[in-house]
Amino acid sequence: MVDFARQPSAGRPFPPAGPNPNERYRIVAQPSENGGLQSDLLEVSMGPQHPSTHGVFRMDLVLDGETVVKLKPVFGYLHRNHEKLAENMTYLGSMPYTDRLDYFCSMTNNWAYALAVEKLAGLQVPERAEYIRIIVGELTRLQNHACLVGFLLQDLGAMGTPLMYAFREREKILDLFEALSGSRMMCNYLRFGGCRIDFPEGWLEQAKKLVAEFPRFLDEFEALVTGNEIVLARLQGIGVLSPELAINASITGPMLRASGVDYDLRKVDRYGLYDRFAFRVPLGDHGDCYDRMMMRILEMRETLTILDAALRDLPEGPILDPKSKLRGFKPKPGEAYGRIEAPKGELGFYLISDGSANPFRYRVRPPSLINLTILEDLCLGHKVADAVVILGSVDIVLGEVDR
């Protein structure tokens, strides 16, 4: 088997570690390899307020000229110990807090948490509620992927325009969420064993209209983006991730599938009612930044077919399991791990119940954080401007990274 320890970069050797283990690294001047001028390595602290870090995230870079020699991500600027807060609340009490994890995708956060609690307590979800979950979950994926492509182009220097195109479509989806849950981003919509409220009047028509119109935006967006010479030059062959390393480093979501690993939890776990829907899982060939961007565009197309079918076949019926209790909810002692395919990757919740009203242990498996494990491997040997693009193609939200 291959060992997946971090490989030293092709350029200079790493600076030797200092005597103090807490010291991150020591910069030493070294003669250049071709015997030319001596030059120092440059330490750059990129972030936490840098616009390309998508929030408060910092990278400690060591640069040789413009080439990245070392990269250490620094986390915790948005840490509020979400898990401790949730352990001091009732199960339902932390449902609104899950919205704040990945604040782009509150619906899928709710879904992952509800799924874990339903596994823990053995609740069944009615058919109509499962359809509603798929509809809101796939709408979330649609707006997340559209915005990710917009943000990535923003990082490339396409200031504003592509992002505003994506935000225009996102607004329509957020309007739907507002009509449904009362809030645009912090939806707090799902409940254990179902959903909070049924679709209001006219909502389905509006959603069908959106799904029917979305391909036109997507075609235009794709034509503008994928044929662009600068996009091709900046994204292709940058930050190549091998499938072996991707599996070993627990990469999930579109980033994993861009490396050609066929692993989509909607197909593998078949949670919810995803086995009723015919859709394909797009896979990349190269695992570079371009593939990672294309995964999002292709997945949006598959999402539209799911939405089409779900809106068409939506059954009538109750939306909440009659056994589920909103008050006095105390699951039996035990533990459960539930996970879903969130837009950013595998979002899992691990819960341990001790029979009381609060979870004894509540853990979020954040895809954004774990997808950053190999950030250094991807960036080594590339220029510092490419590090920005590679980070943009990972798709992180700091609310989830730092929790």
Q: Which residues sit at the interface with other proteins, rule CB under 8 A?
A: 1, 3-6, 22, 75-76, 79, 81, 83-84, 119-122, 245, 247-252, 261, 263, 268, 331-339, 346, 348, 350, 352-353, 361, 363, 365, 369-370, 372-374, 402-403
For the CB of residue 197, give the shortest distance to other proteins in the complex, in Å.
Answer: 26
Closer to other proteins by Cβ: residue 21 or 315: 21
CA pseudo-torsion sign 317, 111, 243, 234: positive
How far from 386 is each of 157, 161, 378, 381, 398, CA to CA, in Å?
A: 12, 21, 10, 10, 20
Closer to other proteins by Cβ: residue 1 or 29: 1
DSSP state of 18: P
Closer to other proteins by Cβ: residue 119 or 382: 119
Closer to other proteins by Cβ: residue 319 or 347: 347
Closer to other proteins by Cβ: residue 23 or 33: 23
For the CB of residue 283, give the shortest distance to other proteins in the complex, in Å.
Answer: 13
Residues 6+ apart with CB under 8 A from 321: 123, 124, 125, 126, 129, 192, 193, 194
For the CB of residue 160, give the shortest distance to other proteins in the complex, in Å.
Answer: 33
For the CB of residue 149, give the shortest distance to other proteins in the complex, in Å.
Answer: 26
For the CB of residue 399, give the shortest distance to other proteins in the complex, in Å.
Answer: 13
Residues 223 and 202: their CA atoms lie apart, in Å, by 33
Taking CA 109 as the corner, what is the angle to CA 106 and CA 110, rounded to the nearest 5 degrees? 90
Helix (H) or strand (E) holding 340: strand 334-342
Residues 40 and 28: their CA atoms lie apart, in Å, by 7
Residues 6+ apart with CB under 8 A from 354: 333, 360
For the CB of residue 68, give the shortest distance to other proteins in the complex, in Å.
Answer: 17
Residues 328 and 342: their CA atoms lie apart, in Å, by 29
Closer to other proteins by Cβ: residue 275 or 313: 275
